[in-house]
Homo-oligomer: A and B are copies of this chain.
Amino acid sequence: MSNPKDSSHLLDNIAIVLMEPQYPENIGAAARCAMNMGISRLVIVRDEFPDREKMLKMATHKAAHLIDQLQHFDSLAEALAPFSQVVGTTARLGRKRRIENSPRYMLDTILPLLTNNEVAILFGPEHRGLTNDDLKYCQLTVTIPTADFSSLNLAQAVAILCYELFWGIMYSGRDMQAGPKLADSHELEGMYEHVESLLNRIGFLNTNDSTYWMRNIRHFLGRIGLRAKEARIIRGFCRQFLWYQEQQERKKQ
């Protein structure tokens, strides 16, 4: 039916990031299916390093090296630092059937980025999924379509998205034209900090609604796909403004 394309190296630029996974078995099962689909980077954000034996049991010996090389971080910001595109997974809410961003839409969005960027697919904890605070790091969200019972098992959700990526990269006739290198999460977060300081200084944000406005600003800046240089320009402007403002304050004193 289909012959694969020579694009398996693109899979190396994808990481599965699990935010506070509760059960080590699920981490193991996620490792196994990532491995099935040619994805070998697994990152977890969690207070404690999970029970190795329980992970290995579900990973099977074939995916044991993913567990050996498991990257473990305390904070999501740290875990996501190297990634230029973070895709957050969210469940369909309520009974609405419309899917905003399908797995196939995710595929079309990230395919052109994979040549020059590292992409993280971020999954929330089993019992509650990703919070709004987690989602602020994401440039894109994706929802796996489901029937009325929308709560997917974590490892099964990982399996479905890894399958979609593997299929799309290796077998689909989709356009693989390489897009630009974008700013990574570390660079973007530094920029957002400066933007927030500036907006606070000029009284645009007050403590009550700053989260709300910053989320909106992240939303539209996230959609642009900023290059590292552009993030530095925005940051430079904010720094300069803050410096200028301080000088004015001092003169007044």
Copies in the complex: 2
User: Per a CB cutoff under 8 Å, which of B1, B4, B102, B147 touches A37?
Assistant: B147
Report the stretch among A41-49, A78-86, A93-101, A203-211 that lies at the interface.
Answer: A93-101
**Interface contact A146-B36, CB-CB below 8 Å:** yes
Q: Mark A127-160, 1 if CB is under 8 A from B, else 0.
A: 0000000000000000011111111110110011
CB distance from A155 to the nearest CB of B (A): 7
Q: How far is the CA of A29 from the CA of B152 in the complex (A)?
A: 10
**Interface contact B101-A1, CB-CB below 8 Å:** yes
**Interface contact A99-B171, CB-CB below 8 Å:** yes
Q: Is A38 interfacial (CB-CB < 8 Å)?
A: yes
Q: Is A2 interfacial (CB-CB < 8 Å)?
A: yes
Q: What are the residues of chain B within 8 A of A145 when measuring CB–CB?
A: 2, 4, 163, 166-167, 170-171
**Interface contact B153-A166, CB-CB below 8 Å:** no
Q: Is A253 interfacial (CB-CB < 8 Å)?
A: no
